[in-house]
Amino acid sequence: MALIVQKFGGTSVGNVERIQNVAKKVAQFVDEGHQVVVVLSAMSGETNRLTMMAKEMQTRPCKREMDVLLTTGEQVTIALLSMALQQKGYPAISYTGWQIPLTTDSSHSKARIEKIDGDKMLDQLGQGKVVVVAGFQGINIKGDITTLGRGGSDTTAVALAAALNADECQIYTDVDGVYTTDPRVVPEAKRLDMVTYDEMLELASLGAKVLQIRSVEFASKYKVPLRVLSSLKEGGGTLITTEDNFKDTEMEQPLISGIAFSRDEAKLMILGVPDKPGVAYQILGPISDANLEIDMIIQNQGIEGTTDFTFTMSRADAEMALEILQSTANHLGAREVTMDDTIVKISMVGVGMKSHAGIASTMFKTLADNEINIQMIGTTEIKISVVVEEGHLDLAVQSLHTAFELDK
Amino acid sequence: MALIVQKFGGTSVGNVERIQNVAKKVAQFVDEGHQVVVVLSAMSGETNRLTMMAKEMQTRPCKREMDVLLTTGEQVTIALLSMALQQKGYPAISYTGWQIPLTTDSSHSKARIEKIDGDKMLDQLGQGKVVVVAGFQGINIKGDITTLGRGGSDTTAVALAAALNADECQIYTDVDGVYTTDPRVVPEAKRLDMVTYDEMLELASLGAKVLQIRSVEFASKYKVPLRVLSSLKEGGGTLITTEDNFKDTEMEQPLISGIAFSRDEAKLMILGVPDKPGVAYQILGPISDANLEIDMIIQNQGIEGTTDFTFTMSRADAEMALEILQSTANHLGAREVTMDDTIVKISMVGVGMKSHAGIASTMFKTLADNEINIQMIGTTEIKISVVVEEGHLDLAVQSLHTAFELDK
């Protein structure tokens, strides 16, 4: 017997029939002798419907009231699923965030979890009940309703799993796991049985949008085994866990787990900056002050005592960053500022690469063989990222996928 | 400056525009210098929509979960109205039932209010805010969400007014007050400026369905001045208050305040029952055990040591009562059981009649002059009810309305 936390998203509870399907899925696990805590999102579309009404009421809706409004979404689904389970003969009880209570800080619309009281849930589980909890929501110290922000239900599920010391946290989505890369680009992409938290963080942040980054961080911090599964298809999905668990299995750790990529990239360059200490801060400070996030940063020696900076960021922010950068350039007496929003980033991810120096050279050779020019390179312990011209994306990902035998 | 509790029903908050209208109405009172607590229902139709979903989930939806589900309705409207008020420049804050907290017993779907903590509300009012409270809902000692039952928002409003020692509780509806009788039957019917709690209770229970009986009882118990107004039309509506307040005004207390009637009546008779002590209980007990409510009861001496019982009840229950009565009749050896569901009840209501014996005779003479046969008569301190054949309803009400000069 295990204690399992299962999270179902908005699509999985999008109408009466789908909620009944979730009840069926939960019932399977109860029949196998497990204790189950279910975390639900609002019905798909509901959050948008409520947000539309709020915007008709107030130009910039009050965040406290917005949280009061939006949390009704999960309150509806938890009541309905509890009824559906009871109808099938499985005792069930629902809890909103404040009923748990799941205590957060006071940042309405993006609150952080501070404390979860597991007593009520454990008591109900002990009585043989399925506990159905509203995701995404909590309560602050003043007794106000808070929300964790979009996708916060994943975080709720992982946090509950940590608080209850659950054996596994299962996230049901519309895909059946994490793939070696996007199957729309490489039809031969394979589902990964297991991946480490660190790999998942790199894969998630780079575009394989299966899980909220925050929930993976949370799972990693509290060592909660996290499994991504399909709510429609049967199958074991992908288990996200610690590196140690790989060692426990007979499986050989692959060098590369997957290839992530992002089409939403722009490259900005500021050239011929007089090279003085503190110049990097003078350039990047104003951009960061404008709340624009920078991804890769490269600094090169320029000509005659000057230096060149290149960095990447989201395309949506690039125009605004360009303006800031031009004003900085005038101020510092830099030669030139350019922007290119026709680039993409491709990243090879794998904990195995730590001990294998050959990964980078194989990657660069593969791209060279396909006449793909590399514009920028960045590395971390478990990732190598390259920036290439956007027209090369599909060919680059496909050839790398083959070169690293990810389709085997 | 006064403290006013205003309640708006589902129709008044049925869509975005109507909620904005409510905001406008509330703003008027704030502009006049009043402190305002607003109590809202769910948008009209919402409760039915949620109930439909629940019934698809569970044949007999769990009452605890039903309360979790239905209370989302007001949680949506309080958030939206708070936003609408803020948009107009009026600081506002919403509270659900559990946030107040409004504590109830544990009878899900028909809970009774036990305690209201006014501190939060008074604190916010003191800060110059409009306080917007979800009607219909509360929390029990276990921390479960409860509801007060249909129309419970009126009760919430009155209870809040009592707890806050408010100067007035205003109930906004789609009519502009309480009338001397139904204007669809008597176009000359007049709006009453003032009526006592007792009169209102008789008028409400007899078909002038403006207010929930329970909220009037509550108002009467705590002496909360209650005003019924239209949310669309301007006007002072009808003030429901104590008899003392009539004396304080220059107004002469009218003999009769209004004429109520009910078309939903059936008459059952059990004739020739052997007259023994306890026979009334033997006849009415099984009907009451079946949760059928009886209204008027008359017992007459029958022939040869027997007795006859006549009583009235709701038409919907009459068939079932007839079956029970027939079995009782066999058991007791009664002669005959009959049922007539073509009758109506007409009631003259007025605190003034206590001291005027002539009311009854004027009533009976008026009906006789119009050749209307009276089948049953019942009286209380402030009411005389008669049962007549349903075809006579309009003529009876019209002629009584004229005879007692209610259209003056």
- Per-residue pLDDT tens for B173-222? 888 889 999 888 999 999 999 999 999 988 876 655 678 788 898 899 99
**For residue A173, what pLDDT is reported?**
87
Decide which of 1.10.8.60, 3.40.1160.10, 3.40.190.10, 3.40.50.300 is the CATH code for B3-173. Answer: 3.40.1160.10
Residue A29 has pLDDT above 90, yes or no: yes
Domain spans of chain B, in order of start: 3-173, 259-403
The closest of A308, A330, A301, A310 to A266, measured between CA atoms, is A310
Contacts of A93 in chain B (CB under 8 A): 64
B280-314 burial by CB neighbour count: b if 16+ within 10 A, else e?
eeebbebbeeeebeebbebeeebeeebbbbbbbbb
Instruction: Answer whether B316's CB lies under 8 Å from B334's CB.
Output: no
Give the CA distances from residue B382 to residues B138, B196, B219, B345, in Å, rounded to whole numbers and listed in that order.
35, 11, 19, 16
Average pLDDT over residues A379-384: 88
**For residue B248, what pLDDT is reported?**
58
Residue B305 has pLDDT above 90, yes or no: no
Residue tagged 């975080």 (tokens): A155
Helices (H), A229-336: 243-248, 279-289, 315-332
Average pLDDT over residues B155-182: 93
Record the pTM. 0.84
**For residue B253, what pLDDT is reported?**
62
- Per-residue pLDDT tens for B322-348? 999 999 999 999 999 999 999 999 999
Put simply, the answer to whether A20 touches B83 (Cβ < 8 Å) is no
**For residue A252, what pLDDT is reported?**
59
Band (A247; pLDDT cuts 50, 70, 90): low
**For residue B234, what pLDDT is reported?**
83
* Cα gap B237→B195, rounded to integer Å: 11
Residue B39 has pLDDT above 60, yes or no: yes
Band (B235; pLDDT cuts 50, 70, 90): confident
CATH architecture of A3-248: 3-Layer(aba) Sandwich (3.40)
Contacts of B94 in chain A (CB under 8 A): 65, 68
Q: Mutual orientation of helices A46-57 and A63-70 as an angle, nearest 10°?
A: 140
Instruction: Answer whether B347's CB lies under 8 Å from B383's CB.
Output: yes
Helices (H), A223-306: 243-248, 279-289
Residue A246 has pLDDT above 70, yes or no: no
Q: Which of A43-47, A214-218, A355-359, B151-155 has the highest mean pLDDT?
A: A43-47
- Residue A384 one-letter amino acid: I
* Cα gap A280→A295, rounded to integer Å: 15
Put simply, the answer to whether A80 touches B53 (Cβ < 8 Å) is yes
> Cis before residue B101, ω within 30 degrees of 0?
yes
Residue tagged 């070696």 (tokens): A180
Decide which of 3.30.1330.200, 3.30.2130.10, 3.10.450.50, 3.40.50.150 is the CATH code for A259-403. Answer: 3.30.2130.10
Put simply, the answer to whether A53 touches B80 (Cβ < 8 Å) is yes
Beta bridge partners of A346: A261, A386
**For residue A170, what pLDDT is reported?**
97
Helices (H), B88-191: 119-126, 152-163
Q: What is the DSSP letter of A23?
A: H
Smallest Cα distance from B68 to chain A, Å: 6
- Per-residue pLDDT tens for B125-155? 999 999 999 999 999 999 999 999 766 899 9
- Per-residue pLDDT tens for B65-86? 999 999 999 999 999 999 999 9
Instruction: Answer whether A369's CB lies under 8 Å from A403's CB.
Output: no
Q: Give the β-pairing of B238-241 and B194-196.
A: parallel
The closest of A282, A343, A274, A337 to A315, measured between CA atoms, is A343
**Best mutation target, B56, B109, B139, B141, to test chain A (most A CBs within 10 A):** B56
Of A13-17, A306-310, B101-105, give the lowest mean pLDDT range. A306-310
Average pLDDT over residues A302-313: 88
Average pLDDT of chain A to the nearest whole number: 91
Instruction: Answer whether B388's CB lies under 8 Å from B259's CB.
Output: no
ipTM tops 0.90: no
Residue A126 burial (10 A CB sphere; 0-12, 13-18, 19+): exposed
Band (A396; pLDDT cuts 50, 70, 90): very high
Average pLDDT over residues A206-225: 83
- Residue A250 one-letter amino acid: E
**For residue A159, what pLDDT is reported?**
95
Integer Rg of chain B from CA: 24
Contacts of B79 in chain A (CB under 8 A): 54, 65-66, 68-69
Residue A250 has pLDDT above 60, yes or no: no
**For residue B47, what pLDDT is reported?**
94
Smallest Cα distance from A176 to chain B, Å: 27
Q: Do domains B3-173 and B259-403 have the same CATH topology?
A: no
Backbone φ and ψ for B217, nearest 5 degrees, come out as -60, -45
Angle at A149 between CA A144 and CA A116, to 5 degrees: 60
Put simply, the answer to whether B72 touches A76 (Cβ < 8 Å) is yes
Q: Give the β-pairing of B168-173 and B226-230.
A: parallel
Contacts of A147 in chain B (CB under 8 A): none
Q: Which residue has the higher pLDDT, A6 or B232?
A: A6
**For residue B251, what pLDDT is reported?**
58
**Best mutation target, B52, B67, B69, to test chain A (most A CBs within 10 A):** B69
Residue B32's contacts (CB-CB under 8 Å, 6 or more residues apart) are none
Helices (H), A175-249: 197-205, 213-222, 243-248
